[in-house]
Structure 1
């Protein structure tokens, strides 16, 4: 398989797995999509922010890994531990259930929607762990880190546009807590599988 393609595919798969986890940002995008309110600006803010952070993580970690040889192994272990925690948290959410999509009140202004989206993106420490730290560390395993980064960035664009513009079709489904439990279960299992791959050096 072509190195660039395999690296991009790995970046896309991991980026998508990380971004699928239910959180405040995704719930906000889903609500905006359900309301059909300011969907394009919101999804662009999320996707472009992710692209900037992913690029910084891949570029920064690559330089640091060359300067400090043991850093790649340390970050791989950290990534595996973080993914294990992330996966177990998702499985716990699936077990407990109780989550549901709350469309909430009115759509609000464009300015408020964009500022809220920026806050949910840039003030969330998990965003930095996912993009800068985790994706940055894992990218060091690939010869073509640029393709890995582009794959992860593409996953963000694909996910947020699909979530924002596909929300209307999902409204009847995610009105039920069971749908969230199924999604949490899938995310949890994916995270644990990726963590096992990191530990085994796959």
Structure 2
């Protein structure tokens, strides 16, 4: 295995050549917030906009889930410009996410709670009104529930279902503010050809997909 050396937040690390900065950091105990990244995906979504970092020699912050490590690279995850971008991205996500942690099936194992704790961000956004979705919960499947009101549209379940499990049951439906994850023609999960593998539930970083 060919390796490269780089520095992240002053810490020198050695990692596999071709690995993306996000995974190199996480494997070495350096937290970078993220929701939509999955290491197996050769073409990361880069949609949550939470994993920005600054790399010496680049004019602007870049998404660490899409940036490959190079030998001698110097990365900073906590610059003022990075924190400003990440904080705003987090606020936008939380502006449409109900804060019902005590009732949520992902309480204490939620990626949003992890980001809030590690980054020092408030879960409830200040000076940004919450416009919460009010969508019907799909409780039709015998093994799990899908609550689209808790979904952060990270796309992990869509990727897992389509590219890993190869079932192609889930996808993004509609556009804009009413975008949601769902089945073909937005039918109930019980009416789909879901094989009940529960890989989508395991991948969900919040409480949108949960076991019964």
Point out the structure with the larger strand share.
Answer: 2
TM-score in terms of structure 1 length: 0.27
Q: TM-score, structure 2 length as denominator?
A: 0.26
For the pair shown, the structure with the greater C-alpha radius of gyration is 2
The structure carrying a bigger helix percent of its residues is: 1
Greater RCO (CA < 8 Å, at least 6 residues apart): 1
